[in-house]
Amino acid sequence: MLLSMISSSAISSSAISSTVISMVTTPGLPQYGSTVVVGLISLLSMKEVLSASKYWNGRLSNSFNLPIIPLLLSFVAIVTFKVVTII
């Protein structure tokens, strides 16, 4: 009996503490917002510069599109999160 009361007390206190922790933490995406923006700008800049050179081809274009698309989606998610936070 005593053991079941102690374990139920421990379970309820851990549930309360995890609820408090989850209410305080923010989603992980906006933490790295500046890194995403810097990476996206640098990749887009390099793609623009290299597209004017004689070394530009379809494989190089695909190589740049591979990281740019996820960074662009992350950027859109960060902007959406910031706008929703303000509103």
Q: So what's the pLDDT on residue 27?
A: 57
pLDDT surpasses 50 at 3: no
Per-residue buried b or exposed e for 24-40, using 16+ beta carbons within 10 Å of the residue's own CB: eeeeeebeebeebeebb
* pTM strictly above 0.85: no
pLDDT: which is higher, 11 or 73? 73
Residue whose tokens read 């609820």: 19
Percentage of the chain modeled with pLDDT above 70 = 64
Q: Bigger pLDDT: 15 or 71?
A: 71
**Cβ distance 31 to 81 under 8 Å?**
no
CA distance 86 to 78: 12
For the chain, which residues make up each domain, given as ranges?
Answer: 27-86
- Mean pLDDT over 33-49 rounds to 89
Average pLDDT over residues 13-41: 64
